[in-house]
Structure 1
Amino acid sequence: MEKKATPANQDPKNELVFTKKNYQLLLISIAIVAFGFILMMGTTDIYDVRKTMIAPMVVLFGFGFGIYAVLKK
């Protein structure tokens, strides 16, 4: 049986799934989601445009960005 050629500095058992860039993008997406939930807070009118339209869109964008961060190679 032949062994697959791997770079000398990488052991296949110690190879990480995510890179540093993936973790950075994931942290950014968590911050975006948290910012969206902060926009939803408050004691003002519950039917305010900020709470009903802008904040949910920010949260959904954050979740979408998180999916991108996980799938990025």
Structure 2
Amino acid sequence: MGEQKRKDTSKGEFIFGKKNYKFMLIGLASIVIGFIIMSGGGSDDPNVFDPSIFHWTRIRLAPTLVLLGFGIQVYAILLNPDKEKKSKS
């Protein structure tokens, strides 16, 4: 009997709210863009040096975007979606 009650109370309820998922998608997009910027630019010939690997977008911008994306992900997980509902009541 107790098992049926638990199933009824937990049915159809998401852990995160709509706001959490929006922030998660923004964070994921930031991480993906950072890794895309960081990749590429290699030379096909190993005997030829390509100085574009030391460009500021690969050394500074891309890792910053990735870290920012991870920070947004942590914020999205810790964000309480029920906060507005409790304060309005």
TM-score category, normalised to shorter length: 0.7 to 0.9
SS of the equivalent of 1:27 reads: helix
Unaligned runs of 5+ in 1: 1-10
Provide the residue aligned with 2:39 in structure 1: 41
* Uncovered stretches (5+) of structure 2, i.e. residues with no partner: 1-7, 42-49, 81-89
2:60 partner amino acid: M
Q: TM-score, normalised by structure 2?
A: 0.63
Structure 2 residue aligned with 1:22: 20
Matches of 1:12 and 1:24, distance apart in 2: 26
Q: Does 1:13 align with 2:10?
A: yes
TM-score with structure 1 length normalisation?
0.75
Number of aligned pairs? 63
The structure having more radius of gyration, on CA atoms, is: 2
| SS at 1:70 equivalent | helix
Q: Spell out structure 1 runs of 4+ moving beyond 4 A.
A: none
What is aligned with 2:72? 65
- Structure 1 residue 63: Cα displacement: 0.3
Q: Would you tell me which structure has more helix in proportion to its own residues? A: 2
